[in-house]
Amino acid sequence: MSLTAEQIALVGQQIGREPKGLVAVTVATPKGVPLVVQMRSLVDDIPFPTLYWLTSKALCKAIGSIETQGWVKEIEARLQTDEALREAYLQNQRDYVARRWELMQPEDKARIEALGFTEMFERYGIGGISQWDKVRCLHMQYAHHLAEGNVIGALLDEQFGLHQQEYTQ
């Protein structure tokens, strides 16, 4: 799937700069507003382990508000006590790593191996986190959720109704 000039311009407006490393708009509103983009794993020989990036200003603002309420620490505490949630989350991490390798451009994969970054791409999960029992960033969790499904994103939808909003930016 190739990006259009209009999509690139929209993402640039959303993030406030010219986007680098874009592969595709993975999720968009029915009106075509990008919500999630897929990123390259290597940009200018610099590793970028984040596969899915949330671009919607409105979604980013809503999730930022949830983070300031302390929800990350709350969900991390639940991960320590709720075995089913923890196992689902760890499976999301494993799936994310596998999907990143699967979608990675062959030239990026070869260059990552040549530069010695292979182990890092095996170790870093959603949002580039190496401690898979922690939640680094709800924005990355929700981007993954919109793209492929994710237990933390599902909890965000359940508790905060993010999926019920209409996003115009």
Q: What is the pLDDT of residues 91-133, one digit of tens each?
A: 999 999 999 999 999 999 999 999 999 999 999 999 889 999 9
**Residue 150 covered by a domain:** yes
**Residue 77 covered by a domain:** yes
DSSP state at residue 104: S
DSSP state at residue 2: P
**Residue 111 covered by a domain:** yes
**Residue 169 covered by a domain:** no
Q: Tokens standing for 51?
A: 């596969």
Following DSSP, what letter does each residue of 140-162 receive, concatenated? Answer: HHHHHHHHH--HHHHHHHHHH-G
**Mean of the pLDDT values across residues 30-51?**
93
Following DSSP, what letter does each residue of 6-37 receive, concatenated? Answer: HHHHHHHHHHTS---SEEEEEEE-TT--EEEE
Q: Tokens standing for 125?
A: 């999960």
- Judge whether residue 46 has pLDDT over 80: yes
Question: What is the overall mean pLDDT for the chain?
Answer: 94
Strands 22-28 and 34-39: antiparallel
pLDDT for 123 equals: 96
**Residue 153 covered by a domain:** yes
**Residue 68 covered by a domain:** yes
Q: Determine the residue type at 40.
A: R
CA distance 125 to 158: 23
**pTM reported for the whole predicted model:** 0.93
Q: Containing domain of residue 40, as a range?
A: 5-164
pLDDT tens by residue, 5-30? 999 999 999 999 989 999 999 999 99
pLDDT tens by residue, 53-95? 999 999 999 999 999 999 999 999 999 999 999 999 999 999 9
**Residue 103 covered by a domain:** yes
What Å distances lie between residue 162 and 31, 36, 127, 156, 157, CA to CA? 18, 14, 19, 7, 5
Q: Which range among 38-47, 88-97, 117-126, 160-169 shows the weakest confidence by mean pLDDT?
A: 160-169
Tell me how many domains the chain contains.
Answer: 1
pLDDT for 166 equals: 76
H or E element in which residue 39 lies:
strand 34-39
